[in-house]
Amino acid sequence: MLPFYHRPVLLDEVIGGLDIKEGGVYFDGTVGGGGHSAAILSAKAGTQLIATDRDEEALRAAEERLAPFKGRFRLYRSDYKNFEEVLSRAGADKLDGVLLDFGISSHQIDDEERGFSYRSAAAPLDMRMDRTQTLTAETVVNDYPEDRLLRILRENGEEAFAPAIVRRIAEARKRERITTCGKLRELTESGIPAKFRSAACARKTFQAIRIEVNGELEGLAECLRGLVGRLRAGGRICVITFHSLEDRIVKRTFADLSSDCVCPKNFPVCVCGRKKEIGLITKKPVTAGEEELRENPRSSSAKLRIAVKL
């Protein structure tokens, strides 16, 4: 059994939120090891699933985990943002539900070869979800201009000490190429004042670079709008985020899609003719309960937002 197997985050909340229908067609855009997908297929008879992932190892794990549901699922190695092409290949028009789980898996974090974790000192600076792409964390750290690297740490990591960290990186890479997670963590910590250092103080820098490597925020809002457009009336969309940047995009997109008229308030009558597309099932994000937090501390940053197509 492949090492991706673990209980996926907010599983019960996701299955309840999707309100799965017998014979419904569901899209899991970030299948991972197939935990959520298996639960979707188990929930009601005849449920069909279309799923994507950029990580070949994840797809192999999902294929194994979903084997008992042979004939009811199709997996594609693709970015979920390519959903139009994937759904066309699958022969699907409308969907009864969509799930997007933006977290990286425990297996990806724990596999030192993948270079996702600041805790893995000897790990190579990689961070690719799709290992066939050429851009790696090593390229970002060593070859990006300082101003671009600074912007990435500020925007993707919301790192308050980004200028000092980038200076340390720039000075170090003049001497030799930075190739390991341990070295990047060392440089990051050296740019943070001692009183603000902690065991996890490199997390924001690693997050920022990972987002850049994988283009995680690019086209996210547009993708959410497109997937909502594919839902049948009554269909649900569930989105799990793990940091404020993603959650902010999801929150704003859902708020916009759940709004009617956008005419200026001083207009006596509506001239835009706009009608809201979704209703919000969760006005505030759902978070992990005490039991899940005990079993999986990494679920502490997970936020689930749910909406229904009108």
Q: Which long-range contacts (CB under 8 A, 24 or more apart) does 90-95 make?
A: 90/50, 92/25, 92/27, 92/50, 93/230, 94/25, 94/230, 94/231, 94/232, 94/235, 95/25, 95/26, 95/27, 95/227, 95/230, 95/231, 95/232, 95/235
Mean pLDDT over the full length of the chain: 94
Which of 17-26, 80-89, 146-155, 263-272 has the least mean pLDDT? 263-272
Helix (H, G, I), strand (E, B) or coil at 101: strand
Predicted confidence (pLDDT) at residue 107 exceeds the cutoff of 70: no
CA distance 150 to 152: 5
pLDDT tens-digit series, residues 248-258: 999 999 999 99
54 is written with which tokens? Answer: 């950029």
Percentage above 90 pLDDT, the chain = 84
Q: Looking at residue 126, what is its pLDDT?
A: 95
Q: How far apart are CA 129 and CA 139, in angstroms?
A: 15
- pLDDT grade for 117, boundaries at 50, 70 and 90: confident
Sketch out the chain's domains with CATH numbers: 11-102+217-309 (3.40.50.150), 112-214 (1.10.150.170)
Per-residue pLDDT, 264: 85
Closest CA to 137 of 167, 164, 117: 117
Read off the DSSP letter of residue 180: B
The one-letter amino acid code at 134 reads: T
> How confident is the model over 147-197, as pLDDT tens digits?
999 999 999 999 999 999 999 999 999 999 999 999 999 999 999 999 999
